[in-house]
Every structure is written in structure tokens, then in C-alpha cells.
Amino acid sequence: MSIESVNPATGEVIATYESMDDAAAAAAVEAADAAFRDWRERPLDTRAAHLNRAAALLRERRDALAALMAREMGKPLAGGRSEVDKCAWVCEYYADNAERFLKPEPIQTDASESYAAFEPLGVVLAVMPWNFPLWQVFRFAAPALMAGNAGVLKHASNVPGTALAIEQLLRDAGCPEHLFRTLLISGSQVEAIVRHPKVMAATLTGSGPAGRAVAAAAGDALKKTVLELGGSDAYVVLADADLDAAAKTCAASRLINGGQSCIAAKRFIVVREVLAAFTERFVAAMQAHRVGDPFDEQTDIGPMARVDLRDEVHRQVQACIAGGACCVLGGEVPAQLGAWYPPTVLTGVRPGMPAYDDEIFGPVGAILAAEDEQDAIRIANDSPFGLGAAVFTRDVARGRQIAQRRLQAGACFVNALVKSDPRLPFGGIKASGYGRELSHFGIREFVNIKTVYVA
């Protein structure tokens, strides 16, 4: 059995890779566990040196890695370079801060000495998506490896070249040969890896069904999981917002990575007083983004990652229109080869439509009308998802209160688009998953928080 890498801009098969059978995948896990036994004993400054070397290699290989992502999943070169730089940042962040994050914490008790220590677990399975094929992996790998763990990666089937490039880069950075392994396996083989006795935990970024499947297998095997699943992020625009700035920020968020991002803005909830004015500005801001060849330096938006994903987005748009929504921009499949779809804006979106109830994973913005602030917040929270949210208002104190207390999401921003940052915890609630990545919270997800008590 083989895995094909296909250029979504042209439909051309780029490369074919031989997939692993169950025995080969299990052997890779065993090898990772053997490497872990050595790695966990290495001092933190030694691990940090390898992570810093990985950061340097990422920057050296920036152009090549950006080109690889452009070929495999259609990411424009500028976006690819930014992604590579962010991966280097997260490596350096944990290299610089892991010792502080993992330092034993004294706890006053009746013992002569008592404290919480943070010890690595072992092999952690990462099941990762194609949309940010480098960042999603390094977001997991940097803290996991610095904590002393090993990793095995089941990447999305359409980015095998990127998956193997990550494994090679970490090996070139001086990490033990089998400490981080890419498993070229199918989705049907994941459960066996979750249940492998040498796999201690699993993390998944992806769809709700995939997350439930991994969580069910891990739960049955009593293994820790962290899940970052879908999102239908709500951006609330209040009457006192700077509409020009809000519209540009909202469009930029909706079109990040061609709209293929869990934390991209998807629902724009606008109080009726400024609905028409915001809609006009938002449509103009969406139109200003240039769709084209991902290898063209002027391109903002490349093709979607696969034709079937494009077709699903178009089906959702058509269902919204059939339900009474109005398409005021885009909404048509271009007559050309590849997985292309234009920036699209729907208005009059209501419950029962995919743009209200579900996640549209593509360049489609849905505008929803709210009567007032209270109604806008109600609509924002009327979702099974809870990954990110934002509020736009000139009253910063009011915005802070809404973000902290009233919006139901794992990350709430004021007058800014939702984004991940190594310094801040990242994750969701409700159907958007559980657990946290990044910050000191992320490095402590896959450690044994061990009580040590000395009488």
C-alpha cells in the first residue's frame, strides 16, 4: 500500500511513499521507547541545545520547507515562511524556559521536605492535520521533547513529505535517531498505536470524529489525551467598534491559511445598528485578498488542500443559500483544475444552516445580525464549539469584561484576531476539545506530576 502526495493547485501527483504495515509501525514505537530511555537521562541543557539547533535548521531550510508546503497543501510561500519561523520560535521558547517550567515546586506540609516534581511519561503519539503541517507538529514536539518524552507522528495523509522532513530535521539537530518517528500509516491503524503498551499518551489536532475515536481508544486503555478539535469562532462587532479596523481584522482572520484554520474567524455577529456599514467594509476587505498560484509572491490565498474538501465547503455554502442565506461575494467553483474556491461572504445566516451550526473549513465568512450586545453574546455562545472568540469595541474595559466573563471559548481576544503564541495557553472547551498546548501549561500536559515526600 502506498501514500500519494498530490499538488492541490494542479492535481499532479508529486511523490508516492510506501506506507508501513502494523509490524513496522509497532517496531518504530519500540525504537522510540528505547531512545526515550536515553533521552530522559540527558540534562535539560543538553536537550535545549538540540532544540536550539532544530530552530537554526528550520531557519536555514525556510525556503525549502515553505516550497514543500506549497506543493503538498497549497500554502502560499509567504505563509509557509512565517510558519517555519514560528516553529523555530517555539523550539527556542521551550529551550529557554523548560528548566523553569519543570523545576520542582516546594509545597509546605508536615514533612521535612515535600514537593511536586515533573517527570516525562515516555512515548507520546501525535495525530496531526495538514493545515499547518509544520506548526501543529512542533507545537507538540518542542515541549514534549524538552520534557524528556519521545514522539511518534501520524500526520495527515496528504502531507507525507512534510512529515518525513520534520523527522529528518530533528535527527539532523542531534536528537537520538529514533526519538521522533514519522509513522506512514492509515487512519485505521491509529487505534493499534494508541493501544500499544509503549505509548503512554496521545495528542490530536483535527476533526471531532477523529478526536472521539482517539479519545475512546485512549480512555479504554487508560491513557492521557489532549485534543484540539474544530472551531466556529465568533467575532462580535459592537456598535462602538472601529468598523474599518474591525472589518480588515475580521477578513484577515477568516482568510488565514485560505480559511483552513480551526481558529480562523467563521461567524461575524454584528449588532444591527452597524450591520450594513460593517458588511460593506467586510466584503471589500475579503475582495482585497488575492487568490492565485501559491508560488507567486503576491498571492494571499492558494488553493484549498484537496478537491474533496473544496467540494464539501461548496456543499455547505449551497445549503446555506437554499436555507435562505444571501451570497454577496464568491460562492462559485472556478472552472479550472485544482481545489480552488474564492473568498465568499454569506449574510442572513440563521440557525439550521451549516454556517451557523457547523464549521466551514474554507474561505467563507458568515454574517449574523444581533439586536444588541446581549443578543450578540447569546448568538456567539450558541455553538457546540468553544475554541476562540473575539470582541470589537472602543471601550477596552467593556471588551475585557466580555472576553473574560461572557464569551465561552478557550481564547478570547479584544480588538484583535485570535492566534496561537508559544507564551500563551492554547486549547478549547465543549466540542473544540480539552487540555492545553503551549505556555507552561502545555509542557505539563505530558509529564507525571509526582509528589515527593520526605519524612
| Residues identified as active-site | 228, 262
Which strand ranges, in their side-by-side order, compose the sheet holding 447-454?
Answer: 105-106, 113-120, 447-454
Phi, psi of 450 (to 5 degrees): -100, 130
**269/95 Cα distance (integer angstroms):** 40
DSSP 297-322: TT-SB---S-HHHHHHHHHHHHHHHH
On whether the CB atoms of residues 180 and 151 are closer than 8 A, the answer is yes
On whether the CB atoms of residues 217 and 194 are closer than 8 A, the answer is yes
**74/13 Cα distance (integer angstroms):** 13
**261/142 Cα distance (integer angstroms):** 21
On whether the CB atoms of residues 380 and 389 are closer than 8 A, the answer is yes
Phi, psi of 161 (to 5 degrees): -65, -40
On whether the CB atoms of residues 237 and 417 are closer than 8 A, the answer is no
Phi-psi group of 46: left, alpha or beta (phi > 0 → left; psi -120 to 50 → alpha; rest → beta) = alpha
